[in-house]
Chains A and B, each alone.
Chain A
Amino acid sequence: MTQASFFPGGSQAARGLLARFPFMPALLILIALIVLNGVFEPNSLSYRAIRGLVSTYLALMLLAVAQTYVVYAADIDLSIGAILSLVNVSVIVLLDIFGGSPAMVLLACVAGVGIGALCGLVNGLVVAGLRLQAIVATFATSILFTGLALYVLPVAGTPAPAAFWRTYGGSFFGVPFVFAAAVVTAIVLYLLARARLITQLLAVGDDAQAAFQSGLPVTAIRIKGYVLCGVFAALAALCVTGDTASGDPLVGGKMVLNSVAAVVLGGTALSGGFGSVVGSVIGALIIGLISSLVFFVGTPSEWQNLVQGLAILIALMVGVLVGRKDKS
């Protein structure tokens, strides 16, 4: 696995590697970004900073994973941020009403995941069941879910019980919770990658007609994809709740397009049928590290937005170009 093989003139072996590990270009960009961050701000590689990075971006990683599953089937979910907001405020309000005992916290989390799954089911029924365009239908449901979130909690506020965010920010037997959560997530993703549903989603995304003709229940598969997406969006919401310790009915709105960008950065095709969740996780980290790097290199404040946008664009182009060269 040498670096050269991902660049122009890639050999047969490199092509095979890229097909097996579509996230390779993203991984190289990630490593480059980590090194650059370390050069411009050595402290950004400290244990504390890396722990901070993971606890801030764990939510976006999970959200990108959620998005990946629907993108596999050539669908998209623009309501993912609204689902996150709705789960966030629901958990906070439940805990506010029923108190913050550890058992209650656990119950509220389960309820939150249930709400996420329900939202996903609504999306699936609307998109796959009613056959509406995914991009427009989920945009509409995003407004619906945001409305619900504002009904549940009209103004940002209401603190989470200490048990909740102390757990998220704390350590157990010397291992920070967020690292443990990241490892558990990795194992779950590994197991899921072998699940039949994932293969079916990819088959539908590759060629829905062919999948249908070969006897796959395409509609049911797409609906299940949206439910899975809702569940992971809810898990992302639990991370946001842990990191912010409060409810905010508008918190997820701006994260939607970041999740899509992370998916594409990670080498997953928006046209469906090809990709990897590992890539999406890396994509989320790339987005986070780019915005830190823009600051650490000393970009003047007036230019930070522009430079950040350009950097993401370049990362996308590098990924696409490397991928294309190796596939051709």
Chain B
Amino acid sequence: MRTLAKITLASVSALTITAFAAQAEDYKIGLSNGWVGSEWRTQMIDEAKAAAEAWGEKGVEVEVVVQSANVDVPGQIAHVRNFISQGVDAIIINPNSPTAFDPVFAQAKEAGILVISTDAEVSSPDAIYVGIDQKTWAMESAKWLAETLEGEGKVVAINGVSGHPANEMRVSGYREVFEGYDGIEIVNEVNANWDQAQGQQAMQNLLATYPDIDGVWVQDGMAAGAWRSIMDAGKVEDIAATGEIRKDFIDLWVENDFTSGASVNPPGVMASALNVAVLMLQGKELKEAADKGQYGNAMYLPIPFIDGDNVEDVAGELDGKPGYYSFTSALSIEDAEALFN
């Protein structure tokens, strides 16, 4: 909580300074977030604000304006239109829909505004995506699970919201990996809507139906719940399952010596996107154009991985943070500069 307060204070003072300092280089960047249902999103915005403040040391004043509320798709389109009205230099958005923003992003581009989406890819040719590749995210932890089981065993999967683009990419990722191992058999796949309670219940049902499973591939937001069911069933020793990156789960992991591994989708993605945005606003050219992914406009960030080898270090790093705090990583200004000519 204290960190949060500090970050807020710091960003407020940064804003005040911006108001008074007449810098040669100053940029106004709009951040739009269309869903406020988890602490992950709050942390994402706080980290982006802190990243903007860090530019002050380089003599670049970056002012961020934030719109963050639970909105429907038209409501988030209104976010973008408000930013256009305010005359921001760039918009960084965690979009509620992959495709619905094509027309409004085209208008933003016409107004000379740089648009970057993060956390979820968008189809617009007028925007780029800076974030992790959700498919690779799933493949990494699936590979870890298959290797941990030595390529042999029965596996179940617990997924998020059916029909959600990130979920579909993740599902195709783990399926592809498990197909590569002849001894791995997926005995069932269920949806628990990225909800801890539903994840816990799904795991209970799965354990009751298949008492002899060896591995569980479960997405973040539900892994803590799934592990609770595994603990209740007294199967911590017998089952390997993927984990997640919140501090309270990492503590549980270390305490009970889980056999777990977690791909990290860091809340720092928006901070990374902001650093990329500032460099692009400065007119720098990317070494490698953002042309990856299904829409050909993505730039993928590295995905950290937590397993038995480094979980103690991660726990140490998170020491003193609140339980809902997620392990994070972001491109520093220097990291981002290395991506540009």
Contact = CB atoms under 8 A, between A and B. Distances in A.
Q: Which of A44, A150, A157, A255 has the most CB of B within 10 A?
A: A157
B81 A52 contact: yes
B85 A46 contact: yes
B69 A155 contact: no
Please report whether the interface of chain A is mostly helix, strand, loop or mixed according to DSSP.
Answer: helix
Given A41-B86, A291-B69, A60 B74 contact: yes
A283 to B, nearest CB: 15
B275 to A, nearest CB: 19
A165 B73 contact: no
B99 A246 contact: yes
Interface in B43-92: 45, 65-75, 77-79, 81-82, 84-87
B293 interface: no
B73 A291 contact: no
A251 B72 contact: yes
Interface string A297-326: 000111011001000000000000000000
Contacts of A169: 103, 107
A159 B73 contact: no
B100 interface: yes
Contacts of A240: 73-74
Given A41-B86, A150-B163, A302-B42, A245 B81 contact: no
Given A255-B72, A305-B70, A56 B78 contact: yes
Given A291-B69, A304-B67, A244 B86 contact: no
Contact of A43 (B8, B87, B107): B87
A158 interface: yes
B100 A245 contact: yes
Contacts, number: 133
B323 interface: no
A244 B71 CA distance: 15
Instruction: Give the interface size bracket for A toward B.
Output: 35 or more
A75 interface: no
Given A245-B102, A249-B163, A44 B85 contact: yes
A156 B77 contact: no
A154 interface: yes
A100 B8 CA distance: 49
Interface of B: 8, 31, 33, 36, 42, 45, 65-75, 77-79, 81-82, 84-87, 97-104, 107, 123, 162-165, 168
5 closest Cβ pairs, A-B complex: A246-B99, A244-B100, A254-B72, A301-B66, A301-B68
30 contacts: A41-B86, A43-B86, A43-B87, A56-B77, A57-B74, A155-B164, A157-B98, A157-B165, A159-B102, A244-B74, A244-B77, A244-B97, A244-B101, A244-B102, A246-B100, A251-B72, A251-B73, A254-B71, A254-B72, A255-B74, A291-B78, A292-B78, A296-B82, A296-B86, A301-B31, A301-B66, A302-B42, A304-B67, A304-B69, A305-B70
